[in-house]
Every structure is written in structure tokens, then in C-alpha cells.
A and B are shown apart, each in its own frame.
Chain A
Amino acid sequence: MKNHVRSARIAANITQTDLARKTGITRQTIGLIEKGTYNPSLQLCIALAKELGKTLDELFWEVEEK
């Protein structure tokens, strides 16, 4: 699943390690989510959005390009 976690994390100046620690998962899982290899649960999506100061839409909603 495409998402904007990586760009939001970099914009917030947070490392993968820090984000992983704050959301209670491993750095490997953060990497998998950013790459779109792993689809996180809604609970984890909300935790990530809160930590990055974004809404779920901003992080995970895909806007079709016209």
C-alpha cells in the first residue's frame, strides 16, 4: 500500500528508530511500512499519524492523479 509515512517522518525530522520506539514496533517494521511492503493495522496507522502530527488521510489516502 502506497503511503506518505517516509516523507512525513523526514519532514518531522524523526528517525526510523525513534518512530519505532514511540509506536512500540521495530525499526524493520517501519521500513516495511514506508516501502509499502507491509500494511499496518488501523491501530498502528493511528499511532503513526499521531506521532507524525498528521491525519490518516494525509498519511495513507491515495489521491488519483488526473
Chain B
Amino acid sequence: MNSWLTIFLPNDEYKQQRLLQFFAEATVLSIVYSIVMIVVAQMVSLDTSFTLLIGLGIVLLYLMGRYVLSGMEYTEVFTSKAYSKELKKIIGQTLGFVAVYCIVYLFIISVPSTPAEWLEFGGFLILLTALYSGVHVLSLHRSYTKNLQDLD
């Protein structure tokens, strides 16, 4: 396949095909969303930036959701030992993510000075950590289940 898109795709042809399918579905969603918004904009006044941001969010969330639920991220996890190993990697990555977030926030942005600011800092950290680890663990679980099914 000759396309500039292939530089962003993995070498495995099954993964390539599935990802192209997800991109195509996301494009259709994006077109439908744009048409709906054009019609809505004729009737009510819309904030352009907000409307575009929502559209982008829908496309990105759809792509991420499809990829995670497809179970094709961890293609080599076929045993409980490999599963545990990947789970440990995810925990390590999550801790790394927490460390980077804390360093960036506390040293580059600002150190919270009021209880409300600390609450905002902690709340956002918990939310991002839960999202980051949750998405990876879900992807790992889906991949492991899919891999075991294919072994039958």
C-alpha cells in the first residue's frame, strides 16, 4: 500500500488493516458531526473553538476506544507470566507518569499554596493516573483474552 499514512502504521498487516478501518470509521463520524454542526449553526450561535474541540475529542476518543477494545496492543501476551510482566511494566510506567506530572506541576507551573489548589493538584493527578493506568490495563486484558481465544 502506497500512502503517506503508512509511516504512522505498524508493520503487521492485520494491525494495519484494523487501524485503517478505525481511521475510516472515525472519518465518517467526523463528517457526520460536521454536517450536524453546520445545520445546528444555522439555528443557534455556536462557539467555533468549542465546537471544533468537541469534534476532535470525538474522533480521538473513538480511535483510542476502538484500539484499546480491539485487543491488538499486546500481541505477544499469551501466558499468565507474560500478563504479569506487562502489568508490572504498566505499573512502572504509571509511576513514571506520576513522577513527571509532579515534577512538571510543582517545579515548572507552581507549588500549590492553598488547600483548594492542593485539592485541584491531587484530584487532577488521581484522575489522570486512573485514566492512564485504566486504559492500559483494559487494553492488556482485552489483548490477553483475544490471544487466548486465538490459541484454541
Interfacial residues, chain A to chain B (CB-CB below 8 A): 17, 24-29, 31-32, 34-35, 37-38, 40-41, 44
Complex partner residue of B76 from A27, A32, A41, CB under 8 angstroms: A27
Interface of A is mostly: helix
Known: A27-B76, A28-B72. A44 touches B13 (CB 8 A): yes
Q: With the chains together, A20 CA to B150 CA distance in Å?
A: 14
Known: A32-B150, A35-B152, A37-B150. A27 touches B14 (CB 8 A): no
B141 at the A interface (CB under 8 A)? no
Q: Which residue of the partner chain B has the closest CB to A37?
A: B150
Known: A38-B14, A40-B13. A28 touches B151 (CB 8 A): no
Contact B75 A29 (CB under 8 A): yes
Could you pull out 11 A-B pairs where Cβ atoms are within 8 angstroms? A24-B11, A25-B11, A26-B15, A26-B75, A27-B75, A27-B76, A28-B150, A29-B14, A32-B150, A34-B150, A41-B13
Q: With the chains together, A26 CA to B150 CA distance in Å?
A: 13
Known: A26-B75, A26-B76. A31 touches B147 (CB 8 A): yes
Contact A32 B14 (CB under 8 A): yes
Contact with A along B63-88 (1 / 0, CB 8 A): 00000000010011010000000000
Contact A31 B151 (CB under 8 A): yes
List, in ascending order, chain A residues with CB within 8 A of B143's CB: 28
Contact with A along B128-152 (1 / 0, CB 8 A): 0000000000000001001100111
